[in-house]
Chains A and B, each alone.
Chain A
Amino acid sequence: MRYGYPLGATALALLLATPLGAQTLRYATIGEPPSLDIQMGTATLATTIAQHMFETLYAFDGEGVPQPFLATGGEVSEDGLTVKITLREGVMFHDGDEMTAEDVAASLLRWSEFGARAGILGLESAEATGDHEVTLTLSEPNGAWQSILAHPNGGPVIYPADIVSEAEGEPISPENYVGTGPYVFGELRPNRYVELTRFDDYTPLDAPADGEAGGREALFETLQFIPVPDVGTRMSGVQAGDYDYAEYISGDLYGLVAEDPAIQVKISEAPIFGLMFTNSEEGPLSDNIPLREAVLAALDMEQALQVSVGEPELYAVDGAFFPEGSVWHTEAGTEPYNQGDPEKARQMAEEAGYDGTPLKLLVSTNYREHFDQATVFARQLGEAGIETEMVVVDWATLLTLRGQPSEWDLFMTHHGAMPDPVLFTVVNESYPGWWQTDERDAAMAALTETSDLDERVAAWADLQTLIWEQVPTIKVGDVYSFDIASPNLQTPWEDAPAFPHFWGASTN
């Protein structure tokens, strides 16, 4: 029920004019999504929206295990270099054509050449070896191939072959958004909304829904994603009935909504974590691991999280990069995390030969948490005698500056939950920070050369230990963001997934 506006007639007119309320989901987003061609970008919001239109060969179930989705299965050759994937038959694209092996091969090739996570799979070729069979050739064995094929964020979603070949390395334009998902691209009104409508000829997988895997059913007629950058406005909008769902509410507002019966709270099931990268290429930190350890020793993560999140229920001081409950979770090597010992840090810095040069700490104001954490760190480092110079810019400038090794020593960013360690930005040698050591190479090789999960988990424990030893990046802590929804909204999940999906969602 909407709040009654005192303008009686107006309220009535409004009620009469929006009988679709029950069939349209109005989702308040943190801003406008960039291109919904999610092969090309890793923005969380774009993935959240586009996953309703575009689908992947595999999909993660409720446990985080990749299950065949558009594929029916896959077989890896003895040497691990060839993967043969069979496809589900009768899957329809939004334009009425059936999905074939040609479409899949073309989509995978374009993604591995131009995509935001190009190169991660090591794909050399993808060929249609049958109407519904695709054969992939890899440059080296990759034990994470199913997870990589299941991750929609900057990942290999399937488009029709002709659209892919026309777009090549440029993002696909909105009029060509054609996928296999339960929702069809409707309309993009800049600053107003992105609208998706139900795909009536959707071919669901014949299996019970389980996480993102299993059958998907579009119960809402329309999904509307409305940009509302101000968090207070997003919140009061749900309270007032203007939106059914609002993402990314600040931790400090938790206390206000947790008790409010007019609001459902959806805490994210997977945490986001802040990262402070160190520069391995240039500057005082580049070849001085002891100095990085001194920086690490000075930091009290509890304080940083308290300031940036506020609500204790919504953060966890934990140096493990995968949260508890994940198969990858391990505390291996996390001892140096969260020492908060200025005296020790001062001594370590001295021993490391620190000469008082201010460290350039690059941070953007577009993400409030980044700035809050950087402010706290700058102060803690100052107490340990390590000088910092904050370089505060907007996010677009930061993305450019961090590519220039001479411009920074430390920069703040964050990382979303990842299904597999190979998707972690720090292990990518060309990601700013440029962590390239022999030990890293060895640990990475151990992680990817096998597809045996136990061996891979053990390899990750070594890699995580190495990260805390060489300090290419410093984890701040786990932050469980939360979303809010109107009390009538029924979602197929209890805690909010990293990319909340609304197939199977309805209002009562």
Chain B
Amino acid sequence: MGRYVIGRIGAAAATLFAASIVIFSFIHLIPGDPVSVMLGDAATPEQVAALRERMGLDEPIWVQYLVWAGNALQGDLGRSIFFETPVTQVIADGAETSILLALITMIWIVLFGIPVGILAAIRQGTWIDQGLSGLAMLLASVPTFWVGLYLILIFAAGLGWFPSSGYPSIFEGGGLANLQYLLLPSIALAAPNAALILRLTRASMLDVSREDFVRTARAKGIRPSRVVLRHILRNALLAVVSAFGFTFAALISEAVVTETVFALPGIGRTVVQSILRRDYPVIQGVILVTVCLYLVINLLVDLSYRLLDPRVEL
């Protein structure tokens, strides 16, 4: 087990290193530069060149990489060219929104996906199952931004039940009540992901119900409802829970579109905006952090799987 863990961590570190080089070199391939964005429409080429030089943007790429990587190892991701604040602060600011949005979305996913998935599995083959499976596929086929636009139109602009956009921090005036700003976005974001969890729940339930120990339990004459609850559900949820990790990571990085529609200050939108502004340090920083997040979750999922499922040998 110990050796396995060390091996996995080493592999993750290697992936991270490769990824950092890819990130860095790719970002500097983007045409356009931050300085002309900064100086604006009236600036002349000479002014742009002068400021580029002052900011060290004319150094060779590999020199810039070494400086950046060296600082990153010490936890310093540099300063945003656009905001002129540390990148870590830009990320921290976006992280609150992204994490809370992902958490609330997860709540919807669990509340909807798991019970409905169970229901579909219990009623396997009936019209209820077919209807629910069809519904899941429909939800998975809807673009989140499209749903988002109509949610705003109906529930914010029309009925005025919820705020339309933005998200003031819960640490500011309003406190936890500010979470209502995340309601509509989380519903839009939850739809396709809930569909995936629903299908996964249903499939695992059916898989487990074919296992020997379930058959044994049934043969022993245990009440069917008890078999479902005690034996099938517990084991089926194991697979579902391990999918949560990836869903969570995906919710954080893939929320770009939802964040754009609802003007949420999350990290997805920060990246898109930073790409448009050529704010290299922010793009690099955010992608590096998200890649780390993926790797860590990947590692944890693998390890927990090995710990929880006795059939996987170490």
Contact = CB atoms under 8 A, between A and B. Distances in A.
- A touches B in complex, CB < 8 A: yes
A232 B265 CA distance: 17
B90 interface: yes
Interface stretch (B64-72, B131-139, B256-264): B256-264
Interface in A462-499: none
A32 B276 CA distance: 12
A61 B94 CA distance: 41
Contact of B40 (A154, A188, A227, A398): A154
A394 B180 contact: no
A396 B37 CA distance: 6
Contacts of A233: 152, 164-166, 261-263
B128 interface: no
A228 B46 contact: no
Contact of B161 (A5, A114, A154, A174): A5
B36 A400 contact: yes
Given A170-B51, A233-B164, A401-B31, A190 B157 contact: no
Given A32-B273, A236-B165, A228 B263 contact: yes
A117 B47 CA distance: 10
B7 interface: no
Interface in A27-76: 31-32, 34-35, 40-43
Contacts of A154: 40, 42
B217 interface: no
B88 to A, nearest CB: 11
Contacts of B149: 232
Interface string B272-287: 0100111000000000
B173 A17 contact: yes
Contacts of B164: 233, 236-237, 240, 242
B47 A116 contact: yes
Nearest to B92: A190
Contact of A191 (B93, B180, B277): B93
A171 B50 contact: no
Nearest to A168: B54
Contact of B265 (A42, A191, A431): A191
A190 B94 contact: yes
B177 A171 contact: no
Contact of B163 (A13, A32, A242): A242
Q: How large is the interface on B (under 10, 10 to 19, 20 to 34, 35 or more residues)?
A: 35 or more
Nearest to A226: B166
Contact of A3 (B37, B40, B160, B165): B160
A230 B40 contact: no
A34 B263 contact: no
A396 B31 CA distance: 8
Nearest to A117: B42
Which of B32, B50, B161, B262 has the most A CB atoms < 10 Å from its CB? B32
Given A230-B165, A233-B263, A237-B164, A399 B32 contact: yes
B46 A43 contact: no
A230 B46 CA distance: 34
Given A6-B161, A191-B270, A396-B278, A34 B51 contact: no
Contacts of A18: 173-174
Interface in B70-112: 80, 82-85, 89-90, 93-94
B162 interface: yes
B31 A190 contact: no
A413 interface: yes
Nearest to B53: A169
B269 interface: yes
B44 interface: yes
Nearest to A42: B40
A174 B85 contact: yes
Given A13-B177, A17-B174, A240-B156, A403 B80 contact: no
Interface in B34-50: 34, 36-48, 50
A169 B54 contact: yes
A425 interface: yes
A5 B180 contact: yes
B42 A169 contact: no
B80 A395 contact: no
Contacts of A431: 42, 44
A366 B163 CA distance: 26
Interface in B118-165: 149, 152, 156-157, 160-165
B55 interface: yes
Nearest to A414: B41
Which of B41, B43, B84, B265 has the most A CB atoms < 10 Å from its CB? B41
Given A190-B94, A240-B164, A395 B37 contact: yes
Nearest to B48: A403
Contacts of B273: 31-32, 191
A192 B178 CA distance: 14
8 contacts: A32-B82, A116-B43, A169-B54, A226-B166, A230-B263, A236-B157, A240-B157, A425-B41
Which 9 A-B residue pairs are closest in the complex by CB-CB distance? A191-B265, A396-B32, A42-B40, A3-B160, A236-B157, A399-B36, A233-B165, A397-B32, A430-B44
Interface of B: 31-34, 36-48, 50-51, 54-55, 80, 82-85, 89-90, 93-94, 149, 152, 156-157, 160-166, 168-169, 173-175, 177, 180, 260-263, 265-266, 269-270, 273, 276-278
Interface of A: 3-7, 10, 13-14, 17-18, 20, 31-32, 34-35, 40-43, 114, 116-118, 154, 168-171, 173-174, 188-192, 226-230, 232-233, 236-237, 239-240, 242, 366, 393-401, 403, 413, 425, 428, 430-431
Given A114-B51, A396-B36, 7 more contacts: A3-B160, A18-B173, A43-B40, A116-B42, A173-B84, A228-B165, A397-B31
